[in-house]
Amino acid sequence: MKYVARIEVTLKPGHIDPEGETTRNALLELNYPVKSVRVSKVYRIIFETESIERAKALVEEMCRRLLANPVKDDYEYSVEETEP
């Protein structure tokens, strides 16, 4: 079966977000009255495995082993079957 996962990786609160700060400064230079900017990443991953339970377990592993840094990132995801 083919699955699609949507994984959002966000900095934990309190961690400095250099890309967000740079974006905020650029928006302020363009005269937008911006108070804060935080940037997060979304991974859309298509993969095959044998069941939805296994698909969710794989995504959890991918997050822990590669996509999210446990020290500074939070993550959340959804997984669903997709057409072959």
Residues binding a second copy (CB under 8 A): 2, 8, 20, 23, 26-27, 30, 32-49, 58, 61-62, 65-67
* Residue 75 three-state SS: strand
d(CA 23, CA 37) in angstroms, rounded, equals 7
Distance in Å, CB of 35 to a second copy, minimum: 4
d(CA 28, CA 46) in angstroms, rounded, equals 38
Distance in Å, CB of 38 to a second copy, minimum: 5
Q: Output 16 or 30, the one with its CB closest to a second copy.
A: 30
Distance in Å, CB of 37 to a second copy, minimum: 5
Under a CB-based contact definition with an 8 Å cutoff, are residues 81 and 1 in contact?
yes
